[in-house]
Homo-oligomer: A and B are copies of this chain.
Amino acid sequence: MVEKQIVQWLKSNCLIRNKKVKIGIGDDTAVLEYDKKHYLLLTTDIVVENVHFKLTEAKFSQIGRKALAVNISDIAAMGGIPAWALVSLGLPEKKATAFKSIFKGILQLAKPFSIDIIGGNLSRSDIFFVDIFLVGMVEKKNLVLRSTGKPGDLVFVTGTLGGAQKRKQFEFMPRVKEARIIASYIKPTAMIDLSDGLASDARKLAEASNCGIEIEAEKIPISKDANRYKPIFSALYDGEDYELVFTVSPDGAEKVPEKISGLKITRIGKLIKQKIFVLKYSDGKQIKLQEEKFKHFK
């Protein structure tokens, strides 16, 4: 059973009845009414030993930092600011003292983003895992969903993509500052963060918006860490970039600057009416974008 089917099952079995819920399952975060001018954003993302990291390849502080960073990235993708976190840790009994290093990693990011750790949970476990529940806030006028793109909208991406496994997955700075500028000045029609890879996540945005997508192969901004023999595929499928993909209506495209706070912004394609997900080369060659390379469940 593929992940998509699981999410579909959940959507149809977990119907929302409460009127304060603006968005439930299916976007980067859930969205709840807060006050006249703000929504609350709620998200959870987990990092699990042997799936998201190996103890031989990652320091505990890196694991903690990453666990918070991926959640902050989800709040950023909605145009919001992170505020409060609850942290669940699973720790093998013999290595329980690792909790300090994990928390030091978490606090490395919590401090600069002014996130308060307001609760959590520790449990023995045969494997390490860190599950963070992050609550953020966004002005109602700045909320950006992934489901509101339109055919013809231009697709942009921040930064460069590919090869994030080398270093970036542990060092990336979630794009909160940039997302705030995008949400308030550029007013994108839709936005998503890149966790599984451009091919998978841009497709998710398109599907949620009931569109297809065309990505121009040669326009994709390639990271210097990307695989040098297959740079485009590295950018499409490696994942863990934690950059932002956003869409802008054709007449809003001139408002998109080349850089935001020094970070490169690149137009890489457009949303289309036909439900196809394709990579186009300048010589006319066109290939289908595969779904994610990394699947939790096949």
Chain A residues close to B by CB (< 8 Å): 1, 3, 6, 9-10, 13-14, 16-18, 20-21, 23-25, 29-30, 32, 34-35, 42-46, 48-52, 83-84, 86, 88, 90-91, 93, 96-97, 99-100, 103, 107, 110, 114, 116-127, 129, 131, 133, 135, 296-298
Check B35–A35 contact: CB distance below 8 A. yes
In the complex, the answer to whether B21 meets A121 with C-beta atoms within 8 Å is: no
Least CB separation from A99: chain B residue: B6
Give the shortest distance, in Å, between A298 (CB) and chain B (any CB): 8
A116 touches B21 (CB 8 A): yes
Please, how many angstroms separate the alpha-carbon atoms of A101 and B122 in the complex? 25
Determine if A42 and B6 form an interchain contact, defined as CB atoms under 8 angstroms apart: no
Question: Taking A93-B297, A114-B17, A297-B122 as contacts, is the C-beta distance between A43 and B84 under 8 angstroms?
Answer: no
Contacts of A10 in B (CB 8 A): 103, 117, 120
Are A129 and B6 touching (Cβ within 8 A)?
no
Known: A30-B86, A97-B1, A131-B131. A116 touches B18 (CB 8 A): yes
- A127 surroundings in chain B (CB, below 8 A): 125-127
Apart from A23-B118, A48-B125, list 10 A-B contacts with CB within 8 A: A9-B103, A10-B103, A18-B84, A24-B116, A42-B133, A42-B135, A51-B125, A90-B129, A125-B129, A126-B126
Q: Which residues of B contact A97 (CB under 8 A)?
A: 1
In the bound complex, CA of A24 to CA of B46 (Å): 21
Instruction: Give complex CA distance A215, B296 in Å.
Output: 50
Of chain B, the residue at the smallest CB distance from A47 is B123
Closest 4 CB pairs of A and B: A14-B117, A30-B118, A133-B133, A30-B119
